[in-house]
Structure 1
Amino acid sequence: MSLQLPRKRTILAWHRWLGIASALFLLSLSITGLALNHTEFLKLDQVQIKSSVILNRYGMASGESIDAYRIHQSDTLAHLNGQLFYNNAPLASASRPLGIIEGDPISVVATETQLIYLTTEGEFIESIDSNQLPYTTLIAVGTTIDGSPLLISAEGNWTPDADWLEFDRYQASYNVEPLETITLDEANANTLLDAFQGGGVSLYRVLLDLHSGRLFGWAGRTLMDLSAIAIIILITSGIGGWLRKSRRPKTPPIS
């Protein structure tokens, strides 16, 4: 009997801590579940969350990651989290620009793996991937001695024709000037963020993902799974303890 008491105390201690942890899990489930069950009354889908902490959980970048460039004298080309914008209007999905080659009627935005063609008014024409180009990865954009645009890659340097349809190898000297960035004013930065974020994330979506654990990614889902397992252990151990206690022979009262 003396050997069983410490073991029993250990089990009770683990049972107590599992109960506390599971209570927090159940509290979260209860609150979010009640709110989700009354979505229409609470108008959860009409409340937009624009907190940078929440938006970053959904891959929506903040204004600190905006790279902006001048194009066509007075227009703006901006890059935000894998998306290009022309005067705050979505243009194409692309990595950060390495160079902008302005022309008439075609201007070209060059990235590591793409050439994006657009009109002088900023209208998207098409995007050419590296599998259609004479190189795999672009390193820089420069100019030849006579001022023609030059695409610089590890596989060699290339000059395009006037229509940007054919590319010829270039082996002479050239110049490279880094692409200069500009700073957007607060109004344009906020307009760009609204275009990228679509007004933010609804409170309904946040509560739904919190309810399922998806808000915190793999760690959140794993925590929810472990909490569910802990509740199952508590229930089964509680029922088992009650059954064992109910089967014990009752001690007759001492007369």
Structure 2
Amino acid sequence: WPWEEPVKQRKSTSQWRRWHRWLGLAVALPVLVLSVTGVLLNHIESFGWSSRPLPPLLARWYGAPVPESVSGIVLDNRWYAQANDSLFIDGEKSLYCRAPLRGVVQDNGWTVVGCADALLLLDAQGQQVERMGPAYGVPAFSTLGRNDQGLVLKTEQGLSQYDVDQLASVALPEGATWAPSLFQALPVTMKQRVVAQSVPPSLNWQRLLLDLHAGRLFGLAGQLVMDLAALVLVVLALTGTVIWSRSRRS
């Protein structure tokens, strides 16, 4: 009958609308993420976020070795701390110092910092003057301190007096008195600065937005969801065109 064709067409269009609606609902959240992150990435330079480091909590989620707590040594009203192979002086990243920090003392007018495998000689401004390792006669040591004569290193063989000018060490008798470096918790604001500076530069807001946009933040499953959302967007564009054309004919 002549009226049957319009009825069939309306049923077919209704089915297209139903598929269009359910597909749109299924990918609403990933499409929202794609859209918002796309807009933010397009204007990230204007926001000044491209190189801004991530907060420490997000950096740890990425697996970055960002410390939760930091202890240090205070010497002549200066704080010395170590995080991620960097020496921090008064909360500012200053020099390379392989972990762990073994101590900080004053000796012959120098500030001597003990890193894992070396001694750093710093001047009054905190600038490195010399880095001394085994080639300078520095024995392997676990703790750094001092006595009345100067710098003392604790080694596997016992205590050793080390002269930074003569580059020579002398074993101390058993039971010799000395004062090892004392570690204590950093002031809260200084600790926050140290932890924030421990975030690798590569972990910034642009990296986070890119990973969200591509779904990489949630592994392979997240990437597949975003790929599926992009494909469904293509299907929605096609079904929307079909629905519009059928509505025009009706």
Q: TM-score range by the shorter chain?
A: 0.5 to 0.7
Pair 212,82 (structure 1): closer, same or farther in 2 beyond 3 Å: farther
Could you say what the CA RMSD is over the residues aligned between the two structures, in angstroms? 4.3
What is the correspondence of 1:57-76 to structure 2 with a 5 Å cutoff? 57=61, 59=64, 61=66, 64-71=68-75, 73-76=76-79
Letter in 2 for 1:85: F
Q: Which residue of 1 aligns with 2:121?
A: 117
Q: Which residue of 2 aligns with 1:35?
A: 40
Letter in 2 for 1:152: K
Letter in 1 for 2:94: L
What is the correspondence of 1:57-206 to structure 2 with a 5 Å cutoff? 57=61, 59=64, 61=66, 64-71=68-75, 73-94=76-97, 95-130=99-134, 133-136=137-140, 138-143=141-146, 147-154=149-156, 157-163=159-165, 165-170=167-172, 172-175=174-177, 177-192=179-194, 202-206=204-208
Mapped partners of 2:122, 2:194: distance in 1: 19
Mapped partners of 2:51, 2:125: distance in 1: 36
Q: Residues 158 and 169 of structure 1 are in contact (CA less than 8 Å); yes or no, is this contact kept in structure 2? A: yes
Q: Which residue of 1 aligns with 2:210?
A: 208
Pair 28,130 (structure 1): closer, same or farther in 2 beyond 3 Å: farther
Q: TM-score, normalised by structure 2?
A: 0.60
Residue 182 of structure 2 aligns to a residue in which SS? coil
Residue 56 of structure 1 aligns to a residue in which SS? helix
Pair 143,168 (structure 1): closer, same or farther in 2 beyond 3 Å: same
Q: Residues 81 and 89 of structure 2 are in contact (CA less than 8 Å); yes or no, is this contact kept in structure 1? A: yes
* Equivalent residue in structure 2 for 1:222, among 209, 216, 220: 220
CA offsets per residue over residues 85-137 of structure 1, 9 Å max, x none? 2223322222232222202332211133221111133222233345655544x
Mapped partners of 2:40, 2:86: distance in 1: 34
Mapped partners of 2:151, 2:80: distance in 1: 19
Q: How many equivalent residue pairs?
A: 207
Unmatched runs of 5 consecutive residues or more in structure 2: 1-24, 236-250
Mapped partners of 2:131, 2:167: distance in 1: 12
CA offsets per residue over residues 31-75 of structure 1, 9 Å max, x none? 42343234356x26279576442243463736x52212211x222
Overall identity of the aligned pairs, in %: 22
Mapped partners of 2:133, 2:225: distance in 1: 46
* Per-residue deviation, 1:164: 5.8
Q: Which residue of 2 aligns with 1:244?
A: none
Letter in 1 for 2:211: D
Mapped partners of 2:150, 2:224: distance in 1: 62
